[in-house]
Structure 1
């Protein structure tokens, strides 16, 4: 799904192993439904909350949830503020140079464009909004369109409404409910297939933790429960 600018994360060092602790801390953004969001009770909710809780149960781990802003989510994993990233993060070669990943728990989700209803949008030469440091932002930056970046997904949609951008490019599963609930916004027909599926991020030193989550993810694939969650939350294609 998203692409982190790695910055100084490659230089950060970590101390200890996640499994040496009593609790495995699950880091997420909490701002990207249906993957993850904060519900009315102030708790982490969504596809990844339900998935993560089940993975921890199957791996026989005690887990707690931690939220972190997207821009610093990899550096703060590396520095030890939490032990995993489960935040709609696409597995990419660039990220894999700094952290490690489990196997994917979703298929690649098509990226879609959201625009004002009735607008004549030039996707090749127009102004396209995307969340900072995402694979969508990278895609637009490499095209002939003009990229405008925002810190949060909500701000990208607001940019379309206030005229700062002609359209926003983001995961289709994120944009579809917004289009369905707002008569002034529509999904455009064109879609982009970016990224190679979403996985959990872990520190490179936490091989035992990675193995435990890999086994749990595989067991959910094998018994069909992962596909059931994907369908429930309308994330995309099943396995």
Structure 2
């Protein structure tokens, strides 16, 4: 029995050492500016790239970046294709059934409707509202009274309004603002809508140590003001801590 206890202790220490040395793979969509996107050099860029790199530095972790389509981003985390999601993902009760979340790194984020013409009734069943599939925005549209039209990517939701396939889009305001600034044919209408509990890294339920490392780093960035500085840099008009 004594030998078994010693062996178990050694195995535990070895596992801890292996965790400290392993490369942590950060999964993101790479298609949701300004949160995350792939730049002209083919590298992940944006608010979450800068944030993720800083979190890994503070947590003393070696990290690499992996891009993954949004609609399979949680299944590919739970199956082990990467170790954390940092992809503009809001904390929701539904997602908590499958994964855990770190401390939030944004406040509950405002969402906005984008239209190509004035006077759209955003709650009529005759109104088609586009949203990216499996997002808090698509859930909101589904319960709003309007007809939901889902797309795999945010770009496709905006294209649907441009070509008349949809009457409006509901998306994160931080995504909608630069799109409407670059496209005179699109405009934001109505008041901001606060959804979710803020954005955070998604972590497998079994990875409690990794969750704590990232949460501690996020909380440290909140306390020293560096998180607010990143929000100012990348997320126009977003609430700060």
Relative to the length of structure 2, the TM-score reads 0.90
Relative to the length of structure 1, the TM-score reads 0.90
Aligned match of 1:153: 154
Structure 2 unaligned regions, length at least 5: 1-14
Summarize deviations over 1:180-238 as a string: whole Å, max 9, x none.
Answer: 11111111123311111000011111111011111111110110000000010025110
Count residues in correspondence. 223
**Structure 1 outlier segments of 4+, above 3 Å:** none
**What SS does the aligned partner of 1:24 have?**
strand
The 8 Å contact of residues 111 and 193 in structure 2, kept in 1 or not, is answered as yes
Aligned match of 2:78: 78
The 8 Å contact of residues 20 and 61 in structure 2, kept in 1 or not, is answered as no
Aligned match of 1:206: 207
Summarize deviations over 1:140-185 as a string: whole Å, max 9, x none.
Answer: 1112101101010000000001111111000000000011111111
**d(CA) in 1 for partners of 2:208 and 2:76?**
18
The 8 Å contact of residues 19 and 208 in structure 1, kept in 2 or not, is answered as no
**Higher relative contact order, structure no. (Cα contacts within 8 Å, ≥ 6 residues apart):** 1
Is 1:28 equivalent to 2:38 in the alignment? no
**d(CA) in 1 for partners of 2:218 and 2:54?**
9
Give the alignment of 1:42-191 within 5 angstroms. Answer: 42-116=42-116, 118-125=117-124, 126-191=127-192
The 8 Å contact of residues 26 and 86 in structure 1, kept in 2 or not, is answered as yes
More helix per residue: 1 or 2?
2
The 8 Å contact of residues 130 and 148 in structure 1, kept in 2 or not, is answered as yes
**d(CA) in 2 for partners of 1:110 and 1:124?**
18
CA-CA distance at 1:52 after TM superposition: 0.2
The 8 Å contact of residues 33 and 174 in structure 1, kept in 2 or not, is answered as yes
**d(CA) in 2 for partners of 1:227 and 1:80?**
31
CA-CA distance at 1:72 after TM superposition: 0.4
CA-CA distance at 1:120 after TM superposition: 2.3
